[in-house]
Amino acid sequence: MREGQTHTKQEKEQVTQAKEQAVNTKEALTELGKINYQKHCAVCHREDGKGMPPAFPGLLGSKISVGPIDNHIEIVLNGKKGTAMQGFAGQLTDREVAAVVTYERNTWENDDKKKYGESAGGVVTPGQVKKVRQ
Ligand code: HEC
């Protein structure tokens, strides 16, 4: 009986995962990310990703935007103390954070691996955000 239940649970997880993948394509996330970027981020970082330096840095080719994904998720969730960069953990869902990060990593040629190296670009799943959030 117990084994049967475990199977069912596993199957359910597989279905959930498959559904997650189906709705979280790069296109869908980028589209949702753009909306959220314009709503929450463009006021400082600007639509063209060039920001308003020195107060608000650009995200075009910025260290975190082309660096390891977890650092990127982390700053969007928690912000950076002592700066105007607030955390968005309370305002955005895991999927919205995944979307906005995916958008930033694949816009303004931030996904150019030749220029920025292997860490550039990438698609961020809500599951990844959930892990960093904990
Ligand atoms: C009120 C202005 C403001 C808003 C709104 C804002 N940011 Fe920022 N952001 C900043 C500032 C200032 C920094 C620089 C922090 C520092 O000194 O390291 C920053 C830094 C960043 C960085 C790191 C850049 C790097 O490579 O060092 C990322 C990524 C980022 N913001 C993403 C976002 C996202 C995503 C949103 C919207 C959900 C957002 N920001 C909204 C002001 C803002």
Residue 12 domain-assigned?
no
Residue 54 domain-assigned?
yes
Q: How confident is the model at residue 1 (pLDDT cuts 50, 70, 90)?
A: low
Task: Read off the pLDDT of residues 69-126 as tens digits, 9 standing for 90 and up.
Answer: 999 999 999 999 999 999 999 999 999 999 999 999 999 999 999 999 999 999 999 9
Q: What is the amino acid identity at position 63?
A: K
Residue 107 domain-assigned?
yes
CA of 124 relative to ligand 1 center, distance in Å: 18
Residue 8 domain-assigned?
no
Ramachandran sector of residue 112 (left: φ over 0; alpha: ψ -120 to 50; beta: rest): beta
Residue 106 domain-assigned?
yes
Residue 18 carries which DSSP code?
H
Residue 48 domain-assigned?
yes
Cβ 65 under 6 angstroms from ligand 1: yes
Q: What is the pTM of this model?
A: 0.92
Residue 7 domain-assigned?
no
Q: What is the amino acid identity at position 40?
A: H
Which CATH number belongs to the domain containing residue 32 in this structure?
A: 1.10.760.10
Residue 84 domain-assigned?
yes
Structure tokens at 108: 């303004």
Total count of domains within the chain: 1
- Residue 87 structural domain: 25-133
CA of 121 relative to ligand 1 center, distance in Å: 18
